[in-house]
Structure 1
Amino acid sequence: MASEEGLTGSSRVTVFAMFGVVFGYATHHRDERRIGDVAIVGPLTPGVEWGRLWQMARSCGRPTAGETELAQWVLTQATRAFVCGSDRIARFQEQGWKLEPGGKRVRFDATYANRDQLWTGNMTVEGLTPDQVARRPTIYTA
């Protein structure tokens, strides 16, 4: 589902590189329990639009994968960076971030990687330097 709304928040944030592009992964809480039921993932590299994330998922996923499976691939990559530190650039316990309007939202049929939904879009994270969000050299393409 496309999103006409943006979102601003402050939560745990992981900044990581994938196929040369830098992405942010944050959590959003829809109520006072603060369980981080929504995963927020978006590109931080200047000039890269949120649709690039879905192109990567399509290139790396099964040819017949539907939207939910592609969203699971995206969340798996973000979770991998958070848990394993693979290609992680920065990790913040509490950091401000912003998701611009116009991204994509997917609700999972069942909780996946401790999240009920994935929201993607163009993203910014407070306090990052231009070097941290710059495109990275990579031998892999997607």
Structure 2
Amino acid sequence: MASGGALTGSSRVTVYVMSGVVFGYATHHCDERRLGDIAVVGPLTPGVDWGRLWQMARHCGRPSAGETELAQWVLTQATRAFVCGSGRIAQFRERTWELQPGGKRVRFESAYANRDHLWTGNLTVDGLTPDQIAERHTFYPA
């Protein structure tokens, strides 16, 4: 489902690189309990559109994968960066971010990686340097 307006938040943020592109992974909360029930993932590299993330999922996932399975792939990569440090550039306990309108939202049937939803779109994170978000050389382009 396409999103309506921009979403802003302040939460934990992981910045990681995958196939040369730098992405951000944050959490958003539906209520004051701050459970982080929504995963927010998007490219931070200038000039890279959020559709590239879904293109990567399609390229790396099963050829017959549906939208939910592709969303699970996206969230798995972000979670791996958060937990294992795979491709991690930076991790912040609290950072302000903004998800631009026009992305894609997927609701999981049941919690996946402790998240009920994945929202993707073009993302910005306060306080990152140009070096942190610059595209990297990769042997595995998507």
1:47 and 2:70 equivalent? no
- 2:20 aligned partner: 20
Deviates most, 30-39 or 1-10: 1-10
1:61 and 2:70 equivalent? no
- 1:32 aligned partner: 32
Q: CA deviation at 1:5?
A: 1.8
Q: CA deviation at 1:125?
A: 0.3
Structure 1 stretches of 5 or more lacking a match? none
Structure 2 stretches of 5 or more lacking a match? none
Matches within 5 A, 1:110-121: 110-121=110-121
Give TM-score, length-normalised by structure 2: 0.99
Please give the per-residue CA displacement for 1:55-106, whole angstroms capped at 9, x wherever unaligned: 0000000000000000000000000000000110000000000000000000
SS of the residue corresponding to residue 109 of structure 2 reads: strand
- 2:128 aligned partner: 128
Q: How far apart, in 1, do the equivalents of 2:139 and 2:125 lie?
A: 26
RMSD: 0.4
Aligned partner letter, 1:58: R
1:77 and 2:52 equivalent? no
Q: CA deviation at 1:141?
A: 1.6
1:103 and 2:100 equivalent? no
SS of the residue corresponding to residue 111 of structure 1 reads: strand
Q: Which structure 1 residue ranges, 4+ long, deviate > 2 Å from structure 2?
A: none
Q: CA deviation at 1:3?
A: 0.8
Q: In the comparison of the two structures, how many residue pairs are matched?
A: 142
Q: What percent of counterpart residues are identical?
A: 78
Give TM-score, length-normalised by structure 1: 0.99
